[in-house]
């Protein structure tokens, strides 16, 4: 009798544990539309052909070719939302400066990988893409994430395209 009760308690504990670790699907967003696309990571870039990552040209090419795109956001010193992956511009512009320590006015004087392309504002990318293809938006943790999230979502408020953050 004792073994039967112990076995039932053990079974109940195992079932509860399995339920607790199972993915919760109720209330999840539906990503079906996003799954219909191939994605250009940081835009459809090709450095050797003069199309740097995270540039307006790379995003234009991705949208024109029907690719969704992934992009990274962070804030400048004056709280402008820009599209750039790295915390500094050393790899992309050859200058060891942090984006978070420059105003956008300072930042826009630098060029990506020796091209004429510069680090774009998020608003410029949204205006360029115009909802043609979906966006996967990553908020980089280089700044205060609450401030970045607030500004990014404000810019997305009137955007009519498909996106996830």
Active site residues: 41, 85
**Pairing of the two strands 39-41 and 81-83:** unpaired
Locate 150 and state its tokens: 């607030």
User: Are 57 and 68 within 8 A, CB to CB?
Assistant: no
φ/ψ of 134, rounded to 5, equals -75, 160
User: Are 104 and 76 within 8 A, CB to CB?
Assistant: yes
Q: Which helix (H) or strand (E) holds 164?
A: strand 163-164
φ/ψ of 103, rounded to 5, equals -75, 165
């Amino acid at each position: 009798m004792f073994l039967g009760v112990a076995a039932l308690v053990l079974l109940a504990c195992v079932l509860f544990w399995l339920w607790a670790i199972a993915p919760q699907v109720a209330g999840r967003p539906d990503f079906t539309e996003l799954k219909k696309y191939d994605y250009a990571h940081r835009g459809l870039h090709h450095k050797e052909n003069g199309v740097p990552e995270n540039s307006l040209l790379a995003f234009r090419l991705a949208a024109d070719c029907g690719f969704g795109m992934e992009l990274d956001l962070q804030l400048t010193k004056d709280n402008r939302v820009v599209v750039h992956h790295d915390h500094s511009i050393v790899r992309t512009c050859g200058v060891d400066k942090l984006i978070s320590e420059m105003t956008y006015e300072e930042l826009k004087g630098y060029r990506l990988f020796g091209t004429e392309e510069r680090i774009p504002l998020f608003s410029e990318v949204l205006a360029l893409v115009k909802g043609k293809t979906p966006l996967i938006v990553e908020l980089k943790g280089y700044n205060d994430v609450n401030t970045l999230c607030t500004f990014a979502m404000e810019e997305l408020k009137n955007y009519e395209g498909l996106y996830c953050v």
